[in-house]
Structure formats: C-alpha cells, structure tokens
C-alpha cells in the first residue's frame, strides 16, 4: 500500500446524471476526508469519517451529495443530478487519528457537460 | 474575507533564487500549519508541518510561523525548475478532526 488511491481519475458526464467516485485510503489510517478543488482555488473541505462514522459535513455538501464509508475502509462519494457547477477535482485524503497533515490521493477530475 | 489569504501569483524566479511564499490568516485558533506542493493535475503533497510558532528546516525548505502576526512563510533556497508547482498553505485547529483550511495557492515557476 503506497498511498491513497482514487477511481476513476477522470469522469465526463452529462448534466443530470449521477456519478460515484471511490477512494481507498492508506490502510492503517482511520480518518478519511473528501475535498473539492476548483481551478485557481485551494481544496475546500466537504466531509470526513473516523472509521465508518461520518463526523462532519460542510455546508458545501448539498443534498445531492452523499458519502459513505461502510466498513471503515474505502469510501464512496456520490453526486446525484449533476450540475455544471459540480465540475471540479474531487480529492480524497486520509490520516491517522493522532498527528496532523493529510495524505492526499491523485484526485478525480469531474467534468459536467 | 477568507480565513486564509494567499497571493495566487504567478511568481517567476530564475534558477538558484531564494523564493519566499506567504499566507496570512484570521482564525487565532489555528495551531497547526502546513505547506503542500501541488503539480498540475495532481493531488497535493505535504512538504512541511509546523506546530504553533517558530521555524522548521528541511533541506532547502524553511517554514516560519508568526502567530502574533497571523503570518506564515515558506522559503525555498537554491530553487530548481523541478520546484515549479503550486504551493498551498493549510492550517488546522486542535481537536478539529485534522480538518484543513487551505489558501488559494501560489503558482511558482522557476526558470532556467
């Protein structure tokens, strides 16, 4: 296990379609985070899990977004009824409970046409 | 006003120059300060991590935190073309679940 992995790396979808992204964290990390990054901006926090519990959600996470981490390992982020404004890089990160700093994955770039 | 302010650049310097990157912040609860490097279309990579005020050095990189001024800096010595990337500052609060607040990033280009 060499790092956080994300799948797919790129996704092009039409407005109104649903999309799902997957993140596999570093295996010994029990915290998992989702961030969104648009062009020219820093990553913005969306939500995070400690094991399987979703502990915090940002106001950015509208009702169309849902994240799960059912067994405390991998996580999925689903966006329903995509809009053009959802076009962004979706970054997953993980960390151990103690210590600071996150290990980021390569991201999933979403384009909504 | 954003919690973390960072000049987006772009910043262009000749190879071998000393680079200074800076962020200011408004939330006095921030105690942990980080610098990430992000290459185009890649995820951010942690470069430096500092707790509270002070300096930290790692090779060609030095991070400084001045909590009284709410100002942090990253210095890169002997800059190389491979340092060309976007540099993001990030901060978090104790007990905040390791949730990071990022600056917008400064785009750096080191030219031959």
A60 vs B78, residue with greater confidence? B78
Q: Is A103 an 8 Å CB contact of chain B?
A: yes
Share of chain A above pLDDT 90, in %: 85
What is d(CA A6, CA A79) in angstroms, rounded to the nearest whole number?
16
CB A46 within 8 A of CB A60: yes
pLDDT computed for residue B5 by the predictor: 95
Confidence check: pLDDT of A2 > 80: no
First to last CA, chain B: 37
Query: Cβ neighbours of residue A13 under 8 Å, at least 6 residues apart?
Result: A19, A82, A110, A111, A112, A113
Encoded tokens for B91: 């901060």
Contact A55 B8 (CB under 8 A): no
Contact A48 B97 (CB under 8 A): yes
Sign of CA dihedral A107, B48, A56, B67: negative
Of B8, B92, B99, the CB nearest to A56: B99
Q: Is B60 helix (H, G, I), strand (E, B) or coil?
A: coil
Residue from B4, B48, B100, B104 whose CB has the most chain A CBs within 10 Å, to mutate: B100
User: DSSP secondary-structure letter at A2?
Assistant: -
Per-residue pLDDT band for B65 (boundaries 50, 70, 90) equals very high
Given its phi and psi angles, is residue A59 left (phi above 0), alpha (psi -120 to 50 degrees) or beta?
alpha
CA distance A92 to chain B (A): 9
pLDDT computed for residue A1 by the predictor: 52
Confidence check: pLDDT of A72 > 90: no
Confidence check: pLDDT of A41 > 90: yes
C-alpha closest to that of A74 among A21, A29, A23 = A23
Tens-place pLDDT, residues A93-107: 999 877 678 999 999
């Amino acid at each position: 296990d060499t790092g956080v992995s994300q799948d797919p790396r790129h996704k092009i979808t039409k407005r109104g379609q649903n999309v799902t992204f997957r993140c596999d964290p570093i295996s010994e990390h029990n915290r998992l985070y989702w961030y969104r990054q648009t062009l020219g901006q820093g990553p913005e926090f969306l939500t995070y899990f400690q094991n399987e519990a979703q502990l915090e959600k940002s106001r950015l996470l509208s009702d169309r977004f849902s994240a799960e981490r059912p067994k405390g390992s991998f996580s999925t982020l689903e966006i329903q009824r995509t809009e053009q404004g959802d076009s962004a890089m979706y970054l997953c990160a993980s960390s151990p409970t103690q210590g600071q700093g996150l290990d980021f994955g390569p991201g999933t770039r979403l384009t909504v046409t | 006003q954003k919690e973390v302010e960072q000049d987006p650049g772009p910043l262009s310097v000749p190879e071998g120059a000393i680079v200074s990157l800076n962020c200011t912040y408004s939330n006095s609860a921030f105690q942990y300060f980080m610098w990430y490097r992000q290459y185009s279309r890649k995820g951010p990579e942690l470069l430096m991590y500092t707790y509270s005020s002070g300096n930290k050095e790692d090779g060609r990189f030095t991070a400084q935190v001045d909590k009284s001024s709410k100002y942090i800096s990253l210095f890169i010595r002997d800059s190389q073309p491979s340092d060309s990337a976007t540099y993001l500052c990030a901060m978090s609060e104790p007990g905040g679940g390791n949730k990071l607040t990022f600056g917008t990033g400064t785009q750096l280009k080191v030219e031959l």
